[in-house]
Amino acid sequence: MSFIFQPKAEPKASLRIDDTHMTLVPEKLKNPFGMQIMFDHDGHTRSIYVYADNGKDLVDWYTCLRAAKLSRYQLAYPAASVEEVREMIKQKRNG
C-alpha cells in the first residue's frame, strides 16, 4: 500500500499490508467518516488519518484493506481455514 500527499507525486512511503491495522475513528477526526491506519516504523507505531466524503467509501476502504490482508495470509497458509487465518491476524495485531 502506498500513500501520496500531492497529485502526480511519488509515494511518500510504502506499507506492508501485513503490518497495518485500521480502525474507524470519527470522534478523533471530528468527521463521521474518519479512519486511522496504524503501522510500525523503526520500532514506533505511526498513524495515517484519512476520511471519506461518505460512509460507503469509508467502509469500502476498510473492507478492501481487510480483504487484502486476509488474501495475503491465505496465500501464505493455504491449508489454514478462514477462521485459523483470522486468529493469526488477530494474534499478530495483539502480539
**What phi-psi label fits residue 14: left (phi over 0), alpha (psi between -120 and 50 degrees) or beta?**
beta
**What would you measure as the largest C-alpha separation in the chain, in angstroms?**
43
Indicate the angle between helix axes 55-76 and 82-94, nearest 10 degrees: 100
Identify the domain containing residue 24 by its residue range.
Answer: 2-94
Number of structural domains the chain divides into: 1
Q: How far is CA 81 from the centre of its chain?
A: 22
- What is the full per-residue pLDDT of the chain (95 aa) written as tens digits? 555 556 777 777 788 888 888 999 999 989 999 999 998 888 888 999 998 899 999 999 999 988 998 899 999 999 999 899 888 888 876 65
Q: Please, where are the H alpha helices in 1-95?
A: 26-29, 55-76, 82-94
Q: CATH code at 86?
A: 2.30.29.30
pLDDT of 38-65, one tens digit each? Answer: 988 888 889 999 988 999 999 999 999 8
